[in-house]
Amino acid sequence: MQVCATNRPVEVNFPPNGVFVLESRHGGAFRMEETAHDYWKVLHPFRGAGRLVVRGRGMSLGAGDVALVPPGVKHRIEDEAGKPLALYGVCVRREVLGAAGEQSGRTGNARVFRGAAWGGEATRILRALLLEQSRPDGAAAAMAVGLAWQLMALAWRAAEGGAGPVAGGKPEARGGPARVRVAAYVRQLARTFPAETTIDAAAARLGLGRRRFTDLFRATSGMSWVEALRALRVEHATRLLRETDRSVAAVAFESGFSDLSHFHRVFRDASGGITPERWRQKRRTVVRPRGGVATR
């Protein structure tokens, strides 16, 4: 991932899989000239407020929103005074999306979708994509492409006026004994933890009541659902703090925390009262990532 706290747009350098994820933290004097790219771009702000300006028309852009910018569309981003944007960008080469991208790009329109209309699905996909980008295994690049496809397809459908995304995605298969289903869920949690929401939602996906799910989860993992989820999120957050230049707000987001103050409380509890910023200062060892993902 390219990370940049800057007054200028982030330079895009695609890895071999054609999917580039950036985090841009705008400085107070951020300026962007009107420009067009030869690739698709999805923007997802997580802090601040501003506008996406296309052909002189400004569309408000704030935390939780999703902006779709097709190839060849001239645009710029303007920050609201005193509220500089911090956002993620997912850039996808045209050849990765093939004919589907060419067909969807014929309208040539940039759009902004309100976060509430997406039911959190864009955030879920983005968190999963960020997690795959941080993994060293060989399948991560392929997973990143698949997740980018999901994100683009949802944006295209919304742009065409079709049905919006449904929160939670496709329910998990409910077949097999409850104990087996919960055991499979526990194994998968190391990959799905950023997108988990509530115990009730997890239980419903497995076709179980809350009490039955929590009992089986503890019997399988040796801890409660909340304890397991918190441990996975804090472990991921500490690795990001140690090995990357992500902002603390971005670390919280990528680890599955929707509220920054909640992240601070959980992190301090887990680290003996040390704040994320202080922990980073004491423990950090900057590592240059592999696979076309860069931090600075």
| Residue 21 DSSP one-character state | E
On whether the CB atoms of residues 63 and 47 are closer than 8 A, the answer is yes
b/e code 95-115 from CB counts within 10 Å (16+ = b): ebbeeebeebbeeeebbbbeb
Distance between CA atoms of 229 and 241, rounded to whole angstroms?
18
Distance between CA atoms of 59 and 44, rounded to whole angstroms?
14
Give the list of residues 6+ apart from residue 188 with CB closer than 8 angstroms, or none: none
Distance between CA atoms of 184 and 163, rounded to whole angstroms?
31
Task: Give the number of other Cβ atoms within 10 Å of residue 192's Cβ.
Answer: 17
Q: What percentage of residues in the chain have a pLDDT greater than 70?
A: 85
Distance between CA atoms of 288 and 238, rounded to whole angstroms?
16
pLDDT tens-place string over residues 23-32: 999 988 899 9
Main-chain phi, psi angles of 53, to 5 degrees: -105, 120
Report whether CATH 3.90.420.10 matches the domain 2-159.
no
The distance in angstroms from the start CA to the end CA of the chain is 9
pLDDT tens-place string over residues 128-159: 998 888 887 779 999 999 999 999 988 888 77
For the domain made up of 227-283, give the CATH fold.
Answer: Arc Repressor Mutant, subunit A (1.10.10)
pLDDT at 274: 94
On whether the CB atoms of residues 131 and 194 are closer than 8 A, the answer is yes
The list of the chain residues with pLDDT below 50 reads: 162-175, 286-296
- Nearest in space to 219 (alpha carbons), one of 265, 264, 185, 266: 185
pLDDT at 161: 66
Distance between CA atoms of 84 and 290, rounded to whole angstroms?
30
Count how many Cα atoms sit within 13 Å of the Cα of residue 78 in the half-sphere of its side chain.
13
pLDDT tens-place string over residues 159-174: 776 434 433 333 334 4
H or E element that contains 253: helix 248-254
Quick one: tokens of 284? 């950090």
